[in-house]
Every structure is written in structure tokens, then in C-alpha cells.
Amino acid sequence: MKALVWLIGMAITAMSILIILKPQVARDLGERMNPQMFYFGAWARIVIGIVFLLISDTRSWATLFNVLGIFLVVIGAFALQSGFEKTREFVLGIVHGNENLVRLVGAAGVLIGILLISAT
């Protein structure tokens, strides 16, 4: 289980660093989003949020892990509730907008990835 969490953390960190360095990657992913990618991403957010909530008691920054866990679960549930088309439209609006906002989202991904790596 620890190895899986570590691998997920590494993947999130690597992809987020790539998005910070080249926001065009986020645009390409947003344009290629299909229903399978959408559902995988939404459920992945929920699962990672639950992992944060489960490990928060064992970490020194328990409040940060709790807040991020709740945030990720809510974001994933909201995406599932909104549906594929509405969420895709929202994502495309963000990635075709301000590049600094895309980089900020990438920085949040780096934070989440590093926290997952530190959780192992």
C-alpha cells in the first residue's frame, strides 16, 4: 500500500511540475478528456482525499492533511455530481484562460504529490 501511495505521489508531482513548466500540457489533457478519464480523475481525487484523512492522525501536520483530504473528497464528489460535460467545459475554461492560474493549479498538485510522498 505504501508503495502505491508513493507511486501516485510521484506521478502527481511529476505531472504537476510539467504543467508548471509547460501549461500547454494542461490544455492538451483538457481537450482530450473523455468520460473514462473524467471518472478516473474524479474517483482518484476521492480516494486520495480518503487516504489523507486516514493518515492524518499519524502525521505532525494533521490539520493540513485533514483540510486537503476533505477538499479533495468534496472536489471529486462535486465533479461526479456535475457530470462530464459541465466539468469538461469548466476545465477548458480554466486551461484556455490565464496561464498563471494553470501554473497555480500545478503548484497545488506539487503540494499534494509531495504530501503523498511524505505519507509513506
- pLDDT of 3 reads 84
Name the pTM for this structure.
0.78
Answer yes or no: are the C-beta atoms of 42 and 79 closer than 8 Å.
yes
DSSP secondary structure string for all residues of 46-89: HHHHHHHHHHGGGSTTHHHHHHHHHHHHHHHHHHHHH-HHHHHH
| Closest among 10, 79, 91 to 39, alpha carbons compared | 79
Task: Compute the distance between CA of residue 74 and CA of residue 78 in angstroms, rounded to an integer.
Answer: 6
Interval 37-88: pLDDT, tens: 999 999 999 998 998 888 888 777 788 889 888 999 999 999 999 999 998 8
Give percent of the chain with pLDDT exceeding 70: 98
- pLDDT of 10 reads 94
Flag whether pLDDT at 120 surpasses 80: no
Q: Which residue has the cell 494553470?
A: 102
Rg (CA), the chain: 14
CA–chain centroid gap for 80, Å, is: 14
Domain count, the chain: 1
Domain of 114? 2-118
CA–chain centroid gap for 79, Å, is: 12
Flag whether pLDDT at 1 surpasses 80: no
